[in-house]
Amino acid sequence: MNILVLGIGNLLLQDEGAGVRAVEEFGRKYLPPPGVELLDGGTSGIELLQYIQGRDLLILIDVVKSGNPPGTIIRLQGADVPALFQKKISPHQLGVSDLLAAAMLTDRMPRKVVLFGIEPESIGTGLQMSGKVGGKIGRLADLVASELVSLGLNIATKSAIPYEAKSALPDADFVAAGAALR
Amino acid sequence: MAQRITIDPVTRIEGHLRIDCAIDNGRVSKAWASGQMWRGIELILKDRDPREAWLFTQRICGVCTTVHAIASVRSVENALNLEVPLNAQYIRNILMAAHAIQDHIVHFYHLSALDWVDVTSALKADPKKTATLAQGLSNWHLNSAQEFTDAQNKLKGFVGTGQLGIFTNGYWGHPAMHLSPEANLLATTHYLQALEVQRKANMIVSILGGKTPHIQNLAVGGVANPINTDSPSTLTMERLFYVKTLIDELGAFVNNVYFQDVCAIGAFYKDWTAYGAGVTNYLSVPEFPMDTKGTVFDLPGGYIPNGDISKFRPISGFQDEFIRKGVQESIKHSWYDGNWTRHPWEEDTEPHFTEFQDDGKYSWVKAPTFYDKPAQVGPLANVLCMYAAGHAPTRKYTDKALATVSSLAGGKVPITALHSTIGRHAARAVRAAVLYETLQKQWQALIDNIGKGDTKTFNKPEFPQGEIRGVGLHEAPRGVLSHWIVIKGGKIKNYQAVVPSTWNSGPRNAQDAPGPYEASLVGTPVADPEKPLEVLRTVHSFDPCLACAIHMVDTENKEIVKVKAF
């Protein structure tokens, strides 16, 4: 299996970054099996094309406004995914539906697409998520793990490290910056 | 009868922009550009360690991550007078140039070509005639009748699914669409090829930057790429030669496809050289430093007032007072509290939202000025400044573009034709060709320097106790980017980013002079106010990227075009 777990969103806009936070949390909690890659996609558009092309499965995690109470998690798959994003006017130059269309145009559409969406509460400037969304990040990571288990993959957990909603940026950023400063 | 059209949001851009036009006798008589999102990055950075600011600034925007990282580390280095090792400069330069080429290609094919190219018309083209047309432009190996047939079949299948996706919001069959079916098929086929080619630029960025999106290799004082020509875990010769292969593949597409397509489409739309000039004060900064201090550059920059290239004044480097003192921003027409015009180091950010007031406040974007005048930034400003400075590769490619368009259009097209909507596309293609030469040069400089035994990539920053100020300048794909930082006791006291789209999409300034988008729209013909394709052509030609000029409040449930009679 060739699987990408892709978190999308802007970490500077509170709940907007929930998708990225969920991917970080997944990486913190679980050991991804061989063939499963994790990616913090930020708010990038067309740059993500090369990462989604040709996957057996693409698992997207993003903030989605579906009219449900904040913190509600939805799961969509197949053709419902691009259809959902077509209705939303994306703030990004090429939104998720465009990205998937581009993959289709290059004949390398992911064979299956699953979306986990979470309803945001607050998307003002700031690094901290609202309680209703921040409190569901662990749940999002667990749902991704269950999705992979349902495909027959073995998922091992790392030793339990509590999730801190306050962490400013992905650990990897700080490790790289720290290394540069030493 | 006069009409007012509101386009909200403008699509196929990054961020949220609203454009209003008054239309009289089929032409735009007055225009307003309004950024519909508010930027608050300054508030997040206050009191933080200046060494980590770049990690936050590269998250401002989904498209220009690398450029905000670069401008941020430069602002701190500038404040500290910190030199940057040669290897670090060259590695950054390769990253910047590769990113810029990717940006220019994606802008032309995926964000703006659909303003000029009718995909549905391409379905009716004769692939053999298309091949003849294409082979007259260049000997690109993918210009065969078979390639065009395959692309056409793929498009037919795609359109047949009813999921136009990426092609939605195109104004198919609009009276302002002039290309032949064959030219439409040519451009659409290259649109598909460009999807693959842009990846190569992105791969260069991932190899040197450690990761995309959001590079990981920068540091205030250099880069975090350890260089060891033997160790497989560092930047090795094998990696560097792979980068060279990617550079050349990118260059082949730029020269044989992108450059040629822009010339061909420009010739078909020669009438568009008469529209869209707007503000012809052009500002650009020198880029690709070739020394450790930022005083010697591969590409020159400077200022041209009133479109007169004989009046060009160069900007010598990152310490040049001409640019450091010349920039101000006005909030007279912006949704901030008060009415001031200040230097970025002296600004504050106090939001004050009102309704859309035609003669009052109507945008989240501030209005930047250069010595009290609005200025246009971007590839056109950059190319004209480099041309004026006598930069040889710029002269070569500009002259080549003008000669190609003249021969295709059957009449001489002078350099003054560049002051236009189509001129901005031409300048971007010229700049991409120049950047390919720069990429080769930077790559060779890096190899030669490592060959001399220099593997240094980092100088450690030391922060003084008092207050220091710096500016990080970068000639980004969309134009002059400047990050202005005030540091006190090793912490950020103030941080302001004056981004390219702020220069171009800014509202009226303190003297009520319109910004470049607004000025460029006046006089544009609009055949059908319900389908204002012509307005979008000019706005898209600037490559708007509003995500960093401002930020998101709400993007849902908006109509795209609203027309009303006065």
**Alpha-carbon gap, residue B425 to B112, rounded angstroms:** 9
Spatial CA neighbour of B152 closest among B174, B128, B132, B176: B128
Identify the closest residue of chain B to A88 by CA–CA distance.
B556
Q: Give A50's contacts in chain B (Cβ within 8 Å).
A: 199, 202-203
Helix (H, G, I), strand (E, B) or coil at B361: coil
* ipTM for the assembly: 0.85
Identify the closest residue of chain B to A64 by CA–CA distance.
B556
**Contact with chain A for residue B165, Cβ under 8 A:** yes
Distance from CA of B16 to the nearest CA of A (A): 6
Buried b (16+ CB within 10 A) or exposed e, B195-217: bebbbbbbbbbbbbbbebbbbbb
Token output for A59: 């698992």
Distance from CA of A63 to the nearest CA of B (A): 13
Q: Which of A89, A98, A169 sits opposite B556 (nearest CB)?
A: A89
Spatial CA neighbour of B5 closest among B539, B541, B535: B535
The domain locations on chain B are 3-36+58-117+187-195+208-451+473-565
Q: How many CB atoms lie within 10 A of CB B366?
A: 30
Q: What is the DSSP letter of B46?
A: T
Contact call for A88 and B556, based on CB within 8 A: yes
**Alpha-carbon gap, residue B295 to B287, rounded angstroms:** 10
In contact, B477 and B101? CB cutoff 8 Å: no
Distance from CA of B102 to the nearest CA of A (A): 9
Contact call for A50 and B552, based on CB within 8 A: no
Q: What is the DSSP letter of B455?
A: -
Spatial CA neighbour of B201 closest among B192, B190, B212: B212
Distance from CA of A160 to the nearest CA of B (A): 27
Q: How confident is the prediction along chain B (566 residues), in pLDDT tens digits per residue?
A: 689 999 887 766 766 788 999 999 999 999 999 876 656 677 889 999 999 999 999 888 767 789 999 999 999 999 999 999 999 999 999 999 999 999 999 999 988 898 999 988 999 999 999 999 999 999 999 999 999 999 999 888 877 766 555 666 568 888 999 999 999 999 999 999 999 999 999 999 999 998 888 899 999 999 998 888 777 667 888 899 999 999 999 999 999 999 999 999 999 999 999 999 999 999 999 999 999 999 999 999 999 999 999 999 999 999 999 999 999 999 999 999 999 999 999 988 788 888 899 999 999 889 999 999 999 999 999 999 999 999 999 999 999 999 999 999 999 999 999 999 999 999 999 999 999 999 999 999 999 999 999 999 999 999 999 999 999 999 999 999 999 999 999 999 999 989 898 999 999 999 999 999 999 999 999 999 988 999 999 999 999 876 554 333 333 434 456 656 55
**Contact with chain A for residue B210, Cβ under 8 A:** yes
Identify the closest residue of chain B to A173 by CA–CA distance.
B216
3-state secondary structure chain A: CCEEEEECCCCCEHHHHHHHHHHHHHHHHEECCCCEEEEECCCCCHHHHHHHCCCCEEEEEEECCCCCCCCCEEEEECCHHHHHHHHCCCCCCCCHHHHHHHHHHCCCCCCEEEEEEECCCCCCCECCCCHHHHCCHHHHHHHHHHHHHHCCCCCEECCCCCCCCCCCCCHHHHHHHHHHHC
**Alpha-carbon gap, residue A102 to A51, rounded angstroms:** 12
Distance from CA of A107 to the nearest CA of B (A): 9
Contact call for B214 and A42, based on CB within 8 A: yes
Residues with Cβ < 8 Å from A38, sequence gap 6 or more? A4, A5, A7, A23, A26, A27, A32
**Contact with chain A for residue B195, Cβ under 8 A:** yes
**Contact with chain A for residue B111, Cβ under 8 A:** yes
Which range of residues forms the domain containing residue A70?
Answer: 3-181
Identify the closest residue of chain B to A53 by CA–CA distance.
B196
CB half-sphere exposure, B49, CA atoms < 13 A? 12
Q: Among all residues of B, which ones are annotated catalytic?
A: 14, 61, 64, 68, 478, 501, 545, 548
Q: What are phi and psi of A118, to 5 degrees?
A: -125, 135
Q: Which of B52, B62, B210 sits opposite A45 (nearest CB)?
A: B62
Contact call for B202 and A50, based on CB within 8 A: yes
H or E element in which residue B480 lies: strand B479-488
Domain B3-36+58-117+187-195+208-451+473-565 has CATH 1.10.645.10: yes
Token output for B495: 């941080």
Q: Which of A41, A89, A105 sits opposite B195 (nearest CB)?
A: A105
The β-bridge partners of B470 are B485
Number of domains in chain A: 1
